[in-house]
């Protein structure tokens, strides 16, 4: 069922993607064409095909990234190559993209990848974009990522929330893994969302939803749970990053997985919050065991597989 407001249905299309990619929101109107977020690198051809199918002979004019985690910008390079489109990224990420600092951009930190892309402009809190014939306010959404943004269309009462609010929570609070503040910022973003006039949320992952009050209640409860014991956030982050990698490569030896949790900065930080380095083997064995029992991964001998 199309939950978009009727006035938007001719110019806005939501591509609900499965992991590893974020959702994409495609706009096509007399003012031009644009896409918000582009998915993961390994899904880039699929993203490009979805865009081509919807746009037909039209070119993509603009990419807008809510933030630069690999699952939100991994299709940038291919779409830029195919369409020579303009690209807007968060202002605070401009230096890292210009220098292609993969540590600052978190690709190495999470054990993920992203093909190099450029940008033609930046956006930040307080900006306004016209997409699909509608005006969208750009809102800062730190917490999950300190640079993240949301887009709110007051006239249509629609919010593109990225990973600040999902129907059943929000994205990993990554800053907290390395001693920076993230819980306070996430709460402030939820408070901001609660003040907006919203009938529909298009999240970074999962189906668009209309019960915004319930989603906010769930998110606040989740945040309370994580704040009460930050190790819970670390454990969730480690599980999410392990499963993400396995979904990408399909299988890894236990030793390779263990090595990745030492080399990838965010994974190492999460593991260090849970156990001393000397207990890393036992910790990862325990995490993998929990993922097996939860049905997310399978193990055969010394090899761990995506379920």
Each residue's pLDDT tens digit, 133-172: 999 999 999 999 999 999 999 999 999 999 999 999 999 9
pLDDT of residue 143: 98
The pLDDT of 226-253, averaged and rounded, is 98
Q: What is the DSSP letter of 166?
A: B
Cα(205)–Cα(164) distance, rounded to whole angstroms? 10
Average pLDDT, the chain: 97
The three-state secondary structure class of 286 is helix
Cα(86)–Cα(234) distance, rounded to whole angstroms? 36
Domain locations along the chain: 6-228, 242-306
**Could you tell me the fold of the domain covering 6-228?**
Metallo-beta-lactamase; Chain A (3.60.15)
Q: At which residue do the structure tokens 């306070």 appear?
A: 184
Q: At which residue do the structure tokens 């901001």 appear?
A: 192
pLDDT of residue 1: 67
> Does the structure show a pLDDT above 90 at 99?
yes
For the stretch 43-53, pLDDT in tens is 999 999 999 99
Cα(201)–Cα(193) distance, rounded to whole angstroms? 10
> Does the structure show a pLDDT above 90 at 2?
no
pTM score: 0.97
CB 89 within 8 A of CB 62: no
């Amino acid at each position: 069922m199309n939950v978009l407001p009727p006035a938007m249905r001719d110019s806005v299309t939501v591509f609900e993607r499965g992991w590893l990619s974020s959702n994409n929101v495609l706009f096509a109107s007399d003012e031009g064409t644009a896409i918000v977020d582009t998915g993961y690198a390994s899904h880039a051809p699929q993203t490009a095909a979805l865009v081509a199918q919807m746009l037909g002979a039209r070119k993509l004019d603009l990419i807008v990234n809510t933030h630069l985690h690999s699952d939100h910008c991994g299709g940038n390079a291919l779409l830029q190559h195919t369409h020579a489109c303009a690209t807007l990224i968060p202002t605070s990420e401009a230096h890292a993209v210009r220098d292609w600092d993969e540590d600052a951009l978190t690709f190495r930190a999470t054990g993920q990848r992203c093909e190099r892309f450029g940008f033609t402009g930046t956006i930040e809190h307080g900006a306004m974009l016209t997409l699909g014939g509608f005006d969208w306010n750009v809102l800062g959404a730190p917490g999950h990522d300190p640079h993240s943004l949301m887009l709110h269309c007051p006239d249509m009462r629609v919010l593109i929330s990225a990973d600040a609010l999902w129907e059943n929570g929000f994205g990993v609070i990554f800053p907290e893994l390395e001693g920076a503040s993230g819980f306070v910022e996430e709460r402030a973003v939820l408070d901001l969302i609660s003040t907006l006039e919203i009938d529909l949320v298009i999240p970074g992952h999962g189906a668009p939803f209309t019960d915004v009050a319930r989603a906010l209640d769930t998110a606040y409860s989740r945040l309370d749970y994580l704040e009460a014991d930050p190790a819970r956030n670390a454990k969730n982050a480690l599980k999410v990053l392990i499963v993400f990698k396995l979904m990408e490569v399909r299988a890894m030896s236990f030793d390779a997985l263990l090595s990745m949790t030492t080399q990838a900065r965010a994974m190492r930080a999460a593991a260090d919050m849970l156990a001393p380095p000397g207990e890393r083997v036992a910790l990862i064995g325990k995490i993998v065991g929990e993922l097996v029992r939860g049905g997310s991964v399978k193990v055969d001998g010394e090899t761990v597989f995506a379920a």
